[in-house]
Amino acid sequence: MSVNILAIGDVFGENGLEFLSKKLRAFKKLKNIAFTVVNGENASVVGLTPAQADAIFDAGADVITLGNHTFSRQNIIPYLDDNRYILRPDNLSPLSSGTGHRVYDAPFGEVLVINLIGRVGMDLQSDNPFFRADKLIKENPARVVLVDFHAEATSEKAAMAWYLDGRASAVWGTHTHVQTSDATVLPNGTGFITDLGMTGPALSILGVKPEQSISRFLGEPRRQQYMPAPGSCKMEGAIFEIDEKTGRCLSVEAIRITE
């Protein structure tokens, strides 16, 4: 027997959140999804609020993962301590609120979900994510292990997947908002995709109004708060088919839902 686990890429802005709310539950039913992890760190474009986290859960997420913008909205800090179904990167400072891993009860048994952040191109003084992954998997035995690796460098994401091959059921990358075409099962049974993509404005630059992003590259000295691009949206992610008995991944399918 196998189960389908769905991972959804970074939710961007209120229009991305609205699109998730319209599409996720019907898609889960269509694909017989048993467990869903959604990265929500850009629901406020930069960070997310408790109300937005609640909306992501209402949309159908079982667990929310975060990233480098975890603490951009200060009112999320108590929420991280109060709600066990939201995770921030585990290798941030131990003084940080919340946690970056938990074992959850799912219809198919226990599942360990780990949220980590990369160090290449990230100025967060985080601990080594590879050593942290070793520690968490050793101390939290579960047949199914899922890892959201929020990282900038594609090489660092791929290295994590190969490093955990045979120890994690699935490793997926988030943060760069561009879905990659390399969804695969590694030799020892770990499903992997370098980046899930994003859930938000389709005609945009990583979710942002194109003219705002372009102005930054042209050297515009005035810094404006990024705004989500208007128009149609998309929901991107991947489905991992996992063997219930072994925890190994049998197949990976990248998905994109549009309006």
Nearest to 122 by CA among 148, 100, 97, 92: 92
Radius of gyration of the chain (CA): 17
- In order of their start, the domains of the chain are 2-258 (3.60.21.10)
Check residue 223 and give its pLDDT: 75
Spatial separation of the C-alpha atoms in residues 76 and 256, rounded to whole Å: 29
Positions of the chain with pLDDT lower than 70, given as ranges: none
Q: CA nearest 11: which of 44, 35, 58?
A: 44
pTM of the model: 0.96
Respond yes or no: is residue 69 known to be catalytic: yes
Question: Cα(73)–Cα(46) distance, rounded to whole angstroms?
Answer: 8
Residue 222 is predicted with a pLDDT of 75
Sheet holding 170-174, edge to edge: 101-106, 109-117, 144-150, 170-174, 191-193, 184-185
Q: Is 87 in a helix, a strand, or coil?
A: strand
Res 160: pLDDT: 98
pLDDT at res. 37: 98
The pLDDT value recorded for residue 238 is 98
Span 134-193, pLDDT tens digits: 999 999 999 999 999 999 999 999 999 999 999 999 999 999 999 999 999 999 999 999
Selecting among 69, 101, 150, 177, the annotated active-site residue is 69
